[in-house]
Amino acid sequence: MTARAVVELILPGLLTPWPQAGQPGFPMPDAPSLTRLLSRARVEAGGVGEAQTLLADRFGLPLRGLPLAPLAALGDGLAVNESEWWLRIEPVYLRPDRDRVLLFGVELDAGESVQLRELVESHFADDGLELLEPKPGGWYLRLHEDPGAVFSPPASIPGADIADHLPQGEQGRRWRSWLNEVQMLLHECELNRRREMRGLVPVTGLWPWGAGRLPAISGSPTTRLIGGGSLAKGLASRAGIGYEELPVDAEPCLGSTRDHALVVIDDPGWPRWQGDPFAWSNAVEDWEHRWFSPLEKALRAGVIDAFVFHAGNGRSYRIGRGGMRKFWRARRALTGFL
């Protein structure tokens, strides 16, 4: 059988429901290629969640207790032993909001990351805590035993109340106590005073997630893995396939070889998390120009044989070259897919 050229795109957040969509004044994006592709595609059951979850699902990993930390650590160049347990540690901003505490991500420069890591390590020195830092703000904790808790990735709860996402399980109380101790440590540290003077949000907590040991990967759904950051690099290494950084547009993914390219666009759901439909609309039009328009043209020209889109909304959309000829399928408005 002749190999088929396929581009598979993971882009959750693009088809996020907006209750006000279709109402006067709502900034519906102009995305004709996207709406044509969706209108003529075959709809299949798909995954739900952020890009990391959808990517892991494509490699056949169990979604419950997904061991993202050791895979990401491997992708970041750390030596990962199969017998060790790993946790990803994420600096976060925990903002009080009446009777809730909301979680937001923060960005640290290299100097801030080192200073914060050394502060935490010094405080917990008696516990033997050692944070590994292959890149600023990307910390890992190597453990020699099961942490005994279930953790929620911060990408799944940005801007949400942390109450329903705190560590659970046999050792959940121990980890919740650790989170509280870290918050007290960071409350008035010098680093946060300097950040606030610069108009930046403080780092008020550390968020552990992705606990697990390095999983075995049996086979790969793709011959090329493009984008997806540290996790994707780790998956590619474990599966024995090549990894490429995400290009600015679809063109480099449309090679002449008859291969399968799995493309991951990281965390595009942020406009919804910020509650800004105008930011979402602008992002969709940007993706239309850089991704969906070139992909539609490639399908029509026979450069690729099929396109698959994972929206993270429980559906996947698959369209082959023949689907583009189904002109009798009327193009639906984008609101019909939200």
Classify residue 13: in a domain, yes or no: yes
Rounded Cα–Cα distance for residues 288 and 283 (Å): 9
Residue 237, pLDDT > 90, answer yes
Whether residue 80 is found in the same domain as residue 203: yes
For 123-156, give one letter per residue: b (16+ CB within 10 A) or e.
ebeeeeeebbbeebbbbbbbbeeebebbbbbbbe
pLDDT tens track for 266-284: 755 555 555 788 888 888 9
Whether residue 93 is found in the same domain as residue 147: yes
Whether residue 136 is found in the same domain as residue 236: no
Longest dimension (CA), the chain: 70
Whether residue 301 is found in the same domain as residue 322: yes
Distance set, CA 63 to CA 68, 172, 215, 306 (Å): 10, 19, 12, 27
Whether residue 44 is found in the same domain as residue 138: no
Predicted local distance difference test score (pLDDT) of residue 173? 94
Predicted local distance difference test score (pLDDT) of residue 329? 61
pLDDT tens track for 74-103: 999 999 998 899 999 989 998 888 888 888
pLDDT tens track for 151-188: 988 766 667 778 888 999 999 999 999 999 999 999 88
pTM of the entire predicted model: 0.86
Phi-psi category of 229—alpha, beta or left, where left has phi over 0 and alpha has psi -120 to 50? left
Rounded Cα–Cα distance for residues 151 and 165 (Å): 7
Domain count along the chain: 2
Domain edge (last residue) among 184, 212, 240? 212
Nearest to 17 by CA among 8, 26, 9: 26
Whether residue 171 is found in the same domain as residue 234: no
Predicted local distance difference test score (pLDDT) of residue 2? 47
8: Cβ contacts below 8 Å, ≥ 6 apart: 58, 221, 222, 260, 261, 262, 263, 307, 308, 309, 310
Provide the mean pLDDT of the chain. Answer: 86
Percent share of the chain, pLDDT over 70: 91
Mean pLDDT of all residues in 238-245 = 92
Whether residue 237 is found in the same domain as residue 149: no
Predicted local distance difference test score (pLDDT) of residue 280? 85
Residue 58, pLDDT > 50, answer yes
Nearest to 213 by CA among 79, 80, 41, 57: 80
Classify residue 293: in a domain, yes or no: yes
Whether residue 56 is found in the same domain as residue 74: no
Predicted local distance difference test score (pLDDT) of residue 247? 92
Predicted local distance difference test score (pLDDT) of residue 1? 39
Whether residue 196 is found in the same domain as residue 232: no
Mean pLDDT of all residues in 54-69 = 87
Rounded Cα–Cα distance for residues 48 and 136 (Å): 29
Rounded Cα–Cα distance for residues 66 and 287 (Å): 29
Percent share of the chain, pLDDT over 90: 40
**3-class DSSP assignment, residue 18:** coil
Whether residue 92 is found in the same domain as residue 144: yes
Classify residue 296: in a domain, yes or no: yes
Whether residue 197 is found in the same domain as residue 237: no
Rounded Cα–Cα distance for residues 88 and 141 (Å): 6
pLDDT tens track for 119-150: 998 888 878 778 898 887 789 999 888 999 99
Residue 300 CB coordination number (10 Å):
12
Q: Which domain holds residue 72?
A: 68-212
Rounded Cα–Cα distance for residues 20 and 204 (Å): 34
The position carrying tokens 């390095």 is 214
